[in-house]
Amino acid sequence: MILSVRGLAFKGYLANPESVRQAKYPCPQCGRRLSWHDRFLRGVRFGGGQASITQFRLRCRPCGLTFTLQPDFLRPRQRYLAGVQEHAVERYLTSPDSFLWESTS
Ligand SMILES: [Zn+2]
């Protein structure tokens, strides 16, 4: 399951992902405090680059559920930052012809 964490800036998180560990997260199911479980690296792409960021997993022992902390600049199963996707959609909607320059034809 995913726990969305709001208000994190991409560059700040990239420089110090451990900052999310300062907060206490309650289990959405039972309200008890979640314990730290695991971490993993995830590849993300952004305007002109890519990086590996650390994501953390938490666990509620009584419920037996595991949660992934998902900064709100990421979306589940998406490689690009949310802001990059939003900008591309907005650009396409306001000026669809501007996407033609990326075509190889
Ligand atoms: Zn629980």
Q: Is the pLDDT of residue 89 over 90?
A: no
- Report the run of H or E that residue 61 belongs to, with start and end: none
| Ligand 1 centroid – CA 72 distance (Å) | 22
Whole-number Å distance, alpha carbon 87 to ligand 1 midpoint, is 37
Q: Is the dihedral of CA 74, 2, 57, 20 positive or negative?
A: positive
Of 45 and 35, more confident: 35
Residues with CB under 5 A from ligand 1 (ion): 27, 29-30, 60, 63
* 43 and 76 Cβ atoms separated by less than 8 Å: no
- Centre of ligand 1 to C-alpha 78, Å, is 27
Q: What is the pLDDT of residue 28?
A: 95
Map the chain to HEC letters: CEEEECCCCHHHHHHCHHHHHHCCCECCCCCCECEEEEEEEEEEEECCEEEEEEEEEEEECCCCEEEEEEECCCCCCCCECHHHHHHHHHHHHHCHHHHHHHCCC
* CA 7 / ligand 1 centre spacing (Å): 24
Range from 5-9, 11-15, 90-94, 100-104 carrying the lowest mean pLDDT: 100-104
Half-sphere exposure (Cβ direction) of 93: Cα atoms closer than 13 Å: 6
For residue 88, the CA-to-ligand 1 centroid distance in Å is 38
Q: How far is the CA of 66 from the centre of ligand 1 (A)?
A: 9
- Global model pTM greater than 0.85: no
Q: CA 82: distance to chain centroid?
A: 8
Q: What is the mean pLDDT of residues 42-53?
A: 87
- The mean pLDDT value for 72-77 works out to 84
Domain ranges, ordered by start, for the chain: 2-102
Coil, helix or strand at residue 25: coil
